Amino acid sequence: MTHDTPPQPLYLGAAGFTQQAPRAPLSQLPPLSLYIHIPWCVRKCPYCDFNSHELGKAATDWEAPYVQALIADLESVLPQVWGRRLSSIFIGGGTPSLLSERAMDELLAAVRARLPHISEMEITMEANPGTLEVGKLRGFRDAGVNRLSLGVQSFDDELLRRIGRIHSADQAKYALEQAYALFPKVNLDLMFALPEQTMAQLRADVVTALSFAPTHLSYYHMTIEPNTLFHRHPPRVPDDELALDMQDYIQSELARAGLRHYEVSAYAQPQHECQHNTNYWQFGDYIGIGAGAHGKISQHDRIVRTARFKHPQRYLDAVAQGNAVETEQMLTRADLPFEYMLNALRLRDGTTLAQMQMASGLSVVDLEPALSQAQVKGLMVKEAERLCVTDLGWRFLSDVQTLFLND
């Protein structure tokens, strides 16, 4: 699967708190989301560097103890978020659609019983077209899932085979038809620059995707990541020039279809942006539960990042012992400019100064001299109370973000 996760810093040890607080006390706390990680999949894709593990046994063997561990893990976090309401839930993996409908209902009911939430809370679940049937989709919807994110990746059977997907193009199309019939919001996940992918194949994928009139589409550039099968045995992929041509074609065709490129890899019709991921990019807070899940929780005087134990059995053992957190880090004053801009600049609209101050305690003065350097280079602009990248900065976003690193 591919899914958006917020950029993560290097972690200190579990006891590695620093003594510095944010630049200024937070006058109000940002929105709060919940990320739930399901670490198992039928078969690990050769490009995938997420915390996922091939199932190897029946779902009934792990499902019940894992769901109970998730609930216990959530309960351990509650004292840190008393009085706050959830704005969204995202269930990622792995392959969350391996869960049974009963388990999904039990899990979401437990969350709702323990945390207040906004009335129209977005609840997203990632799904693999190869693990779905209509009855199961209805069960997920009835459990409370109101946004389905389908990991299609391509509509070309040969390309799907090359990247190790377990579904066919026909299965993907059928899953999409059922998803649009059952859920009010659907995200279609695709990738480009796949092994030996041609421009003709890319165009065909885009045409097929748009034939479903998607309201939200995530289109990722496949990259070769460490600790993956593709890193050990690299496939032939399109060169940089062809990959850039593919990206330009995707952006122009999706724009023609009314899908706004609102985040690095995300396109949406108005009012269909992913609320959960937008909270990441706006430096909102999120509880992270499940094996390897990351979290970020703000108090008025500090911002703390956490990470759970990654291996599923180690995670289960840690929950049983009362603490699933492997590492935690209090962000320092020096960390915050890069931390904030690493996230906020992923949004095409950037950030307002008021939003930045609310979520991080930063003022525009704290961004200097990096902000002035970015403006001089034509990479960023400050328009009234808003900071955002220029078209040039959008092309070289990682270079812009790096300017804010604390040397």
Q: Determine whether 229 is exposed, middle or buried from the number of CB atoms within 10 Å of its CB (0-12, 13-18, 19+).
A: middle
Stretch 138-154: mean pLDDT, rounded?
97
Contacts of 261 (CB under 8 A, 6+ apart): 251, 254, 255, 267, 348
Contacts of 379 (CB under 8 A, 6+ apart): 389, 390, 392, 393, 396, 399, 400, 403
What CA–CA distance (Å, rounded) separates 120 from 275?
11
Instruction: Give CATH 1.10.10 domain extents, the chain.
Output: 334-407
DSSP letter, residue 407: -
What CA–CA distance (Å, rounded) separates 305 from 311?
19
What CA–CA distance (Å, rounded) separates 367 from 379?
14
Closest CA to 7 of 246, 185, 217, 263: 263
**pLDDT per residue as tens digits for the range 293-336:** 999 999 999 999 999 999 999 999 999 999 999 999 999 989 99
Beta strands in 196-239 (DSSP E): 216-221
Q: What is the mean pLDDT of the chain?
A: 92
Pairing of strands 216-221, 285-289: unpaired
With residue 340 as reference, give the H or E element that holds it.
Answer: helix 336-344
Closest CA to 51 of 295, 310, 319: 310
Pairing of strands 351-352, 294-299: unpaired
Q: Name 207's bridge partners.
A: none
User: Is 330:349 a contact under the CB 8 Å cutoff?
Assistant: no
* pLDDT value of position 6: 67
* Nearest-5° Cα angle at 188, 183 to 194: 160
* pLDDT value of position 198: 98
User: Is 387:380 a contact under the CB 8 Å cutoff?
Assistant: yes
* pLDDT value of position 316: 97
Stretch 44-48: mean pLDDT, rounded?
80
Please give the residue that has the higher pLDDT: either 56 or 159.
159
Closest CA to 188 of 146, 218, 154: 218
**In Å, how far are 82, 127, 177, 217, 241 from 188, measured between CA atoms?**
35, 10, 11, 5, 25
* pLDDT value of position 118: 96
With residue 374 as reference, give the H or E element that holds it.
Answer: helix 370-376
Whether 18 has a pLDDT exceeding 70, the answer reads no
* pLDDT value of position 211: 98
**CATH number given to 334-407:** 1.10.10
How sure is the predictor about 156, in pLDDT bands with cuts at 50, 70 and 90? very high
**pLDDT per residue as tens digits for the range 220-257:** 999 988 988 888 999 999 999 999 999 999 999 999 99
Q: Name 187's bridge partners.
A: 149, 216
Q: Structure tokens of 2?
A: 């591919």
What CA–CA distance (Å, rounded) separates 227 from 222?
15
Instruction: Give CATH 3.20.20.70 domain extents, the chain.
Output: 32-279
Contacts of 266 (CB under 8 A, 6+ apart): 4, 216, 217, 218, 273, 274, 277
**In Å, how far are 169, 187, 206, 213, 388 from 258, measured between CA atoms?**
25, 15, 14, 10, 22
**In Å, how far are 127, 143, 186, 206, 297 from 176, measured between CA atoms?**
11, 19, 8, 15, 35
Which CATH number does the domain 32-279 belong to among 3.20.20.70, 3.40.50.2300, 3.40.50.300, 2.10.70.10?
A: 3.20.20.70
User: Is 314:324 a contact under the CB 8 Å cutoff?
Assistant: no
